[in-house]
Structure 1
Amino acid sequence: MTRLRDGQTFLDAAGWGRAAREHIQGDASTRLYERLTLGDRTAILMDTPPRAPGPTVRDGKSYSELARLATDARPFVAIADGLRAFGYGAPEIYAADLRTGFLLVEDLGVEPVVALGVPIASRYEAAVDLLADLHGREVPAETPLGDQTYRLPAYDVPAFLVECDLLNDWYLPRMTGVSPEPEARETFRALWAEALAPLLDGPLTWTLRDYHSPNLTWRDDREGIRRLGVIDFQDACLGPPAYDVVSLLQDARVDMPEGLEMALAARYLAARRRADPTFEPRDFARAYATLGAQRATKILGIFVRLAERDGKPGYLQHLPRVRRALDANLAHPDLAALAAWYRERLGPSGQPE
């Protein structure tokens, strides 16, 4: 009741207190969303209260701290403002109470970038173009937040590793009935640290981390890259450029038509090469496979966790698609040692879930 009262007080102060309110299906987080309608105007109310980091899992830190996850509304506001300053279609912040975690933001609409679960190629091309443009920029490590600044955290090896651990903590126990022994876990972590190290020595960018179809909308009334609406970037870090590209092109919820993933990847590479003749596609291909395998590893664990801990079994339907992506990425020659570790515990490629 206190939260409802605070939300109404926030809306009253923002001039939207009399708006009609409609609940919006949210994401996998605990955030809540409502679409507000006031006359011929609409806006989105985000209810994202500050939360505690959670219990310690490693090195005296919680999962949220290790994985560099946002625990309040500040990162969303800072990154939204920064992306709009680059010319991208992130929502305008109409009003914000950073203490309580209420945000009133621009409504980016509901027109998707997929149709019947299949990518709309022209819209995915725009999404790829946005990434190529972003990754060609010299991005700052800090961005304004009101009269202060917000510093993006580093998407570093500990962050990647704690995400990979979700496979051992959730997916393997449920799907194979076996949780790896401590020695096998340490080998797993060492292999991943070795595979990730070269990527983090290269150029870094704003890595939005959830740049995929559920968080993209299409707006025909805009021009150029701004036709693409972008949300759910509060966990953005400074990380490898390939991460968001593979997030988009190996979407856990979308069946990619044959040839489209490679065509879109080629479009991205061509744009990067035009902007920077020294850009090396072969290095990008290795990063793409490595981060694709890392992301698939994380998602397998997250989807099982959502089903078993949070009572959201619908995510399990996507496991076969994610497993296929994992197998495809682990086929890269530089990931042979990791592939052997997975093969021993997951079985042969293509094994049904």
Structure 2
Amino acid sequence: MTETRALSPTREDQRTAFLAGAGFAGAQLVALPVDASTRRYFRLSGVGLLLMDSPPDSEPIGPFVQIARHLYGLGLSAPAVVQVDEGAGLALIEDFGQDTYTRLLAAGHPESLLYHLAVDALVALHRAPPLAEMAPYDSRQLSEECALLIDWYIPLLIGKDAALDLRDSFLTLFAEACGDVALRREALVLRDFHVDNLMLLDGRKGVAACGLLDFQDALTGSAAYDLMSLLEDARRDVPEALRMALLTYYLTQRPELNAPRFLKDYRRLAAQRHAKVLGIFVRLAGRDGKHGYLAHLPRTLGLFVRALDAEAYAPLRDWFNRHVPGWREDLPPATLAMLCETPYRLVQGSSHGHV
């Protein structure tokens, strides 16, 4: 007798069953544009909810639920979680609409008002104790992210073999520069705090008017990180006068901080983040076929070059000058074309990245 085996349900089957169990059988789903992660979102037409599909093997949904509830408890606006199946990696969450900061800024909304609101939200977050059970943004995590630069971006300049030979010395110098900031446990660091992940919510007052998205990878670390992420955006030019005004605005609201130490942390983390993002953008283009991110490389490189002017990075700056000719210059058109046409393989294993 022939043995028959039931086929495993497809991801679409799992979404359908979850929606039926939540009382939304037959709901019309509209897929939202994908980003740099494996998560997907679907809008339930006319219901005010999103279906969040976060594959449990790659991006477990539990951290999102935990942090969303924490933020809500602080009076901040994270999407309310209506129903969740952590095992399946599915959740129904509040739909904040379409007024992202990115769209509003493109439409001419006053940028100073939006940015000041975002900084107010950060101040409220940073005045609260971080979640005790959150993993730390420690030296291991910072190093894994820095490795994205030597694994993906630098090989474009000097070749994969040369980059691999220099990998250890590069990471050692980065670790030395970030040694102090890797010890900070000051605040919950959302890690992707920028205009694509912020929304303006009608009908809400104060910091609750700032909708927060994409925070499931949060860690406990330096309060400087998210402010730097907002003000040194890989996707958007922030006027220098506004950047300095917002830095001053943040520090004025937090007089208890050691301001000189905060600014040193800011500069060190800026170089670390821009190194990571350069690597991620190349990986997204060359490995994943998401070529749109290449348009942001010149801006990100400029931010990285500026960040490496910090005193703490003098040894690493010298390392670049010795080993990576032309590191301050934009990638040539032929290299960009290669990334769009030829699969670009990883030099050495790197962690999952996000931007």
**Same structural fold, with TM-score higher than 0.5 when normalized by the shorter chain:** yes
Q: CA deviation at 1:178?
A: 5.0
Match of 1:104 among 92, 97, 104: 92
Question: TM-score w.r.t. structure 1 length?
Answer: 0.86
Aligned residues with identical type, % of pairs: 39
After TM superposition, the structure 1 stretch with the greater mean CA deviation from structure 2, 16-25 or 109-118, is: 109-118
Query: Could you tell me how far 1:179 is from its partner in structure 2?
Result: 4.7
Work out the CA distance in 1 between the residues paired with 2:291 and 2:69: 35
CA gap 1:181/1:231 in 2 versus in 1, 3 angstroms: closer
Counterpart Cα distance in 1 of 2:107 and 2:228: 18
What pairs up with 1:35-50 in 2 under 5 angstroms?
A: 35-38=43-46, 41-50=47-56
Cα gap change, 1:174/1:348 in structure 2, threshold over 3 Å: closer, same or farther? closer
SS at match of 1:26: coil
- Tell me the residue number matched to 1:9: 17
Structure 2, unmatched stretches of 5+, are 1-8, 332-355
Would the aligned equivalents of 2:271 and 2:304 in 1 still touch at CA under 8 Å? yes
SS state at 1:334 partner: helix
For 1:116, the equivalent position in structure 2 comes to 106
Which stretch of the first structure deviates more once superposed, 118-127 or 311-320? 118-127
Give, as a single letter, the amino acid of the residue that structure 1 aligns with 2:87: R
Partner of 1:261: 243
Partner SS for 2:93: strand
Question: Is contact 1:45-1:105 (8 Å) kept?
Answer: yes
Q: Does 1:307 align with 2:285?
A: yes
* Aligned-partner SS, 1:34: strand
Q: Deviations over 1:210-254 (max 9, x none)?
A: 111111111131100011111111111111111111111111101
In the other structure, the counterpart of 1:137 is: 128
Aligned residues: 320
1:202 Cα deviation after fit? 3.7
What is the Cα deviation at residue 332 of structure 1? 1.3
RMSD: 1.9
2:213 counterpart letter in structure 1: I
Answering whether residue 71 of structure 2 is matched by residue 83 of structure 1, we say: yes
Whether contact under 8 Å (2:274, 2:303) holds in the other structure is yes
Q: How does 1:151-300 map to 2 (within 5 A)?
A: 151-180=133-162, 184-273=166-255, 276=256, 279-300=257-278
Bigger Cα displacement from structure 2, 295-304 vs 333-342: 333-342
Q: Secondary structure at the match of 1:197?
A: coil
2:186 and 2:320 mapped to 1: Cα distance?
28
Aligned residue number for residue 147 of structure 1: none
Tell me how far apart the structure 2 counterparts of residues 187 and 4 of structure 1 sit (CA, whole Å): 46
- 2:29 is the counterpart of 1:21: yes
Task: Please give the secondary structure, in 2, of the residue aligned with 1:217.
Answer: strand
Contact persistence 1:117–1:255 (CA under 8 A): no
Give, in angstroms, the shift of residue 342 of structure 1.
2.7
Counterpart residue identity of residue 85, structure 1: G
Give the whole-Å Cα distance in 1 for the aligned partners of 2:141 and 2:188: 15
Q: Which one-letter code corresponds to 2:154 in the other structure?
A: L
Where does residue 321 of structure 1 map in the other structure?
299
Distance 1:348 1:285 in 2: 28
Paired residue secondary structure (2:52): strand
Is 1:34 aligned with 2:42? yes
Shift of 1:112: 2.1
The match for 1:95 is 83
SS in 2 for 1:8: helix
Preserved contact between residue 168 and residue 180 of structure 1 (Cα < 8 Å):
no
Q: CA deviation at 1:307?
A: 0.5
Map 1:60-79; keep pairs closer than 5 Å: 71-79=59-67
SS in 2 for 1:96: strand
Secondary structure of 2:154 counterpart: helix
Maintained 8 Å contact 2:157/2:327:
no
Q: Which amino acid aligns with 2:139?
A: V
Contact 2:183 2:221 (C-alpha < 8 Å) held by counterparts: no
Counterpart CA distance in 2 for 1:272 and 1:139 is 16
The 1:261–1:233 alpha-carbon spacing in structure 2 relative to 1, beyond 3 Å, is: same
Q: CA deviation at 1:97?
A: 0.4
| Structure 1 residues without counterparts, runs of 5 or longer | 53-70, 142-150
Mapped to 1, the partners of 2:274 and 2:163 lie a distance apart of 21
TM-score in terms of structure 2 length: 0.85
Partner SS state of residue 51, structure 1? coil
What SS does structure 2 have at the residue aligned with 1:9?
Answer: helix
Matches of 1:42 and 1:124, distance apart in 2: 26
Higher Cα Rg: structure 1 or 2? 2
CA contact under 8 A between 1:172 and 1:179: conserved in structure 2? no
